[in-house]
Structure 1
Amino acid sequence: MIQKATLKFLEDLRRNNNKPWFDAHRKAYEAAREDFAAFIDSLIAAFGKTEPAILHLKAKDCMFRINRDVRFSKNKEPYKTNFGAYINAEGKKSLKGGYYFHLEPGGSFTGGGLWQPMPAELAKIRQEIDYNLPEFDKILGSKKFRDTYGGLTVEAGQILSRVPKGYEPDNPAATYLKYKSFTALANLPDTVLTGSALLSTTVKAFQTLLPLITFINRGIDE
């Protein structure tokens, strides 16, 4: 579980997103980050029983910095108001699909997939879907997947208006071929975050996502 103090720190940071406040509350930040890291280490160990390829990872290999890159952003607030971790056997900078945990009061979620893959990887995933549509449909149509995620994430700007070049408009896989990202996310209420069921809930969500990740990465590897 996540400690309530960790959520409070993130809530306070949202209201005081500036360097002087952050410096004055650095010990609270370090305690919150350590708490999040402890949960991610527990998650790796627990999910690693299903997916042994991730067992070599540590939380520090998966977590993102809290500092924002404001160079090209209109939002000049210096800090993120969340903790995030991307669990991928090949590292958080991998071009393959993986698992994600996002901690943010009122906006936490778990899930994963592959967000905005590079053109070469995206082309391979589309080809895999085209070649193996029944398998892809079965993954997304399973009761566990639908109950946990509802379906693939529909995100503004991440779906083409037409099928990509090289595919006919009436292709049976046309709906999926238009996607530019392949992710699935499940919201986590704050009450779940601080409860004893958080770890098992997240592990089950990752286990449900495993067939999709396997499908995506197989396409990239081929």
Structure 2
Amino acid sequence: MTFTPESLDFLFENRLQNSREWFGAHRAVYQERVVRPMRELFAALSPHMLTIDPEFMTDPIRAVSRVHRDVRRIRDGMLYRDEMWFLFVRLREEHDLPGFYFSLSPQGFWCGCGYYQAPAAVMACMREMILSGDPLFDEVLALYRTGRYQLEGEKFKRDRYPQADAERADFLNRRGISMSLESHDFSLLFSEGLADYLTERFDELVPFYRMMNRAERLAREAQIK
């Protein structure tokens, strides 16, 4: 089942109403037009994603987000998100790991690879890989230069690598990192071709994923020593 305009209409109206009563009255729309296509898309992608990393968690119930916000963290009174997403990621309790993601909202959709919160030790290892000329970063840099993806992640308040060129400095001067593509192509979002499109994008991002996994491994090895 594909997403439809009704999928986005629900996300918009549900957040606007901000009402448990309204959500309850429209729960069937949420399940059928939002949750079901999210889980089916995740399931359709899973066999290919396991060829990228056989340790990915592929339970769609666990991987797909909920529209409800965590009541313990609500400060603005908004009970619901207007965004849904899923993640392909390994499971580990110590900290977040890099993964691939897809999200949609009334404004469009996003796909990418990276961290929600990258550990400082992992980022330090990534910087060392870049500064030492690791071949994996050369592949990542080639993808960066296509302009299809933008780097995301909080930057340091001042440039800590003034000797680096602008492209490398964009990677080096971040506390966290991901590479993301934003699209407002709703005809694609509502089409059967979305899974193939995401497969192509995720394949492009494999060098970035491998670079971050190597940084993870280096950080663990340094901790053991």
TM-score by length of 1: 0.82
Aligned counterpart in structure 1 of residue 182 of structure 2, from 184, 187, 208: 187
Unaligned runs of 5+ in 1: none
Shift in CA distance, 20/56, structure 1 to aligned 2, threshold 3 Å: closer
Calculate percent identity across the aligned residue pairs: 23
User: Once superposed, what is the RMSD of the aligned Cα atoms?
Assistant: 2.7
Unaligned runs of 5+ in 2: 219-225
Aligned length: 213
Q: Distance in 2 between matches of 1:47 and 1:174?
A: 30
- CA shift, 1:104, in A, is 1.1
Where 1:90 maps in the other structure, the secondary structure is: coil
Q: Distance in 2 between matches of 1:7 and 1:131?
A: 45
- CA shift, 1:6, in A, is 2.3
Quick check: 2:96–2:116 contact (8 Å CA) kept in 1? no
Shift in CA distance, 7/46, structure 1 to aligned 2, threshold 3 Å: farther
1:153-196 Cα offsets, whole Å, 9 max, x none, are 3x5xx1113355xxx64256544221112211112322211112
Shift in CA distance, 20/92, structure 1 to aligned 2, threshold 3 Å: farther
- CA shift, 1:17, in A, is 2.1
For 1:60-75, list aligned pairs within 5 A: 60-75=61-76
Q: Structure 1 residue runs of 4+, over 6 Å off?
A: none
**Which has the larger displacement, 1-10 or 12-21?**
1-10
Asked if 1:44 is matched to 2:46, the reply is: yes
Q: Distance in 2 between matches of 1:92 and 1:211?
A: 25
**AA of the residue aligned to 2:11:** L
1:76-99 Cα offsets, whole Å, 9 max, x none, are 110111211111133698522110
Where 2:128 maps in the other structure, the secondary structure is: helix
Quick check: 2:45–2:199 contact (8 Å CA) kept in 1? yes
Q: Distance in 1 between matches of 2:213 and 2:53?
A: 16
Q: Distance in 2 between matches of 1:108 and 1:135?
A: 28
Q: Distance in 2 between matches of 1:17 and 1:146?
A: 40
- CA shift, 1:116, in A, is 3.1
1:54-84 Cα offsets, whole Å, 9 max, x none, are 5651212312222112544432110111211
Q: Which residue of structure 2 lines up, in the alignment, with residue 129 of structure 1?
A: 130
Quick check: 1:66–1:82 contact (8 Å CA) kept in 2? yes
